[in-house]
Chain A
Amino acid sequence: MIMARKRISTQYGFTLIELIIAVAVSLVVILGVAVSLVDSQRSWHRLYNRAFSDVVTDAYVARKTFNAAIRKASKNGFFIDDNGNGIEVCYYADDNSTSVDRYARFYELNGELNLIRGKLDPKVTLEVQTVCGNVSECLFTTAGRSAQMILTLDNGSQTITTVSCALMHNE
């Protein structure tokens, strides 16, 4: 009997307590790693969105397009819609133009910021371009010879507001 006990006690194995402790420790470690992984993944995703999401790139494109159009616009003859949702400026087609012969109109419609370019006298539309989508709010204002666009983009998960201001340089 004593011999049998000794034989049994020399067999390899874990006690229940050891297993419980091992499992608990493993769970804590795995949980920690998992939390860390998920947190890292969320941070990565958040940072990626902040840098490269569609609203961010759209806002950048809208700002650049607006600035380029306003900077070359004529300070004589620009119009703002009564509700501030649209602005129209006039400009010279190129260096050979003897008078202001083009117009550009920014306006917000159904959540999109659109840009129409066309000829003046007679007024003919040449191009309609959607600058960006996900527009939740768009307001244009002018002061003196400068124009401002306050654009809020919202894709459901991220909201960004960008403000662009540019001076009309042409006569």
Chain B
Amino acid sequence: MNLKKVLQSKECGSAVVLVALVVVLLSLMGLGLLQIGLSSRLLATQATNKIKACSAADAGLTKALFEINKKLKAKALSDQSLPQVTDETLPGCDATFSYKITAASIKAALGVNSLTIESVGKYGYATRKVHALIGLKGLFDSAILVKDRMSLMPNTLVTGYNSADPTDKDFDLKIGTTSTLADRIPLGPGTVVEGDVFVGIGGDPQTVIGAGGTITGNKYALDMEPDFPVITPSSLLTDWGTSLSAKGETITINSAGSGTYSGIDLSKADGNPGTLEIQGGKVVLHITGNIDLGQGCELIVRPGSSLVLYIDGDISADNSVGVNNQAGNVKDFQLYATGTGDQVFNLKAKSSVFGTVYAPKVDITLYPSVEMRGAIVGKSVTFKSGGKFYYDEALRDNVSIDDEGARFIVKRWGEE
């Protein structure tokens, strides 16, 4: 009864104040927690959005490069057809990207190296912009590139020159393998490589490269796998349904004779060698079978002419035969392996060999009597009989959009 009276009394108590104070304190702390949670969530969201926008911008640049290379391969590149997209959605994500490739003129741009890609990625309010200057890369960045073994006989000299600039004496060449197995580049005694020698990713240059010979540059392991673009002959070539055969005679092919043939067979008859003569512009041949060069026979590319040879089969050569690129311009004789099975090339020359060989799945054996000028990509390369190998730096530095296997790569990159 007394307690009831006390509770009902009009006297001021402190409990209500205390409870109110506690409630206020707890509320403030709760609000603080919410505020911090909200702030950290906002920061995290912003950071995530920026990362997504950045990824979208990168993807846009990669896609732009892919699209322009697709057009380049299809020979459909023109000032009016430069790839461009706006707000394309990044697959698996709500981010979008837009890209634009700009050049005053394709041909002019390649001359001054000013073809640019600008890519913008967006996600929410986050925007990221990247830009790149792109340029052409050919098939022959290395003097000799193999996937397996490169065998240089004793006293071989590997050096360079620049057909586009004869005054250039500061050669920058490299040879190498993508293999990491031991002794893939055995250098014979007296062999000199005036440049760098590289081995496959993770390989030990000391074990992959033989101890013999002299290397004036560096030995190192690749940090990135080189790409080996697949080369396919044009589907527009005329299929002649026959082989090119010359037995003790000379047959001449000009640009009108370009097309697909089942083989090339040159053989000696009545003491006369068979000769295939390329004369009259650019001749493109796709050989679906083998090339057999009998004793003393020759494949001659006359000055002012050029031969682009795609072959699905093997090349075999007897004694004293060869490819004779008379003008001495390495781009006048281009050989590409396009077969799906195993192929073997035996290349010989009565004198020097001028040309390029791109056959990343082929075992290649070279027998130049004097020297070879150009570049080689093969599965394995055996350089018989010593001699000299001259790498033409113009193959790397002067790539044009008409070159086989040319593709755009990023030369300079930046972001805002």
Contacts and interface: CB of A to CB of B under 8 A. Distances in A.
Interface of A: 12-14, 18, 33, 36-37, 40-41, 43-44, 47-48, 50-52, 60, 71-72, 75, 92, 95, 142, 144-145, 167, 169-171
A95 B416 CA distance: 12
B40 interface: yes
A102 to B, nearest CB: 13
B25 A37 contact: yes
Contacts, number: 64
Given A44-B29, A48-B36, A170 B224 contact: no
Given A12-B2, A44-B32, A71 B415 contact: yes
B3 interface: yes
Interface stretch (B270-278, B302-310, B406-414): B406-414
Contacts of B43: 51
A170 B412 contact: yes
Interface residues on B, range: 20 to 34
What 7 A-B pairs come out closest when comparing CB atoms? Answer: A51-B40, A169-B413, A40-B29, A47-B36, A170-B413, A33-B22, A144-B224
Contacts of B223: 75, 142, 144-145
B99 to A, nearest CB: 15
A21 B409 CA distance: 85
A43 B33 contact: yes
Residue among B22, B201, B413, B414 with the highest chain A CB neighbour number at 10 A: B413
B237 interface: no
A47 B33 contact: yes
Most B Cβ at <10 Å: residue of A37, A41, A51: A51
B26 A37 contact: yes
Interface in B9-35: 22, 25-26, 29-30, 32-33
B25 A12 contact: no
B36 A169 contact: no
A44 to B, nearest CB: 5
A54 B94 CA distance: 33
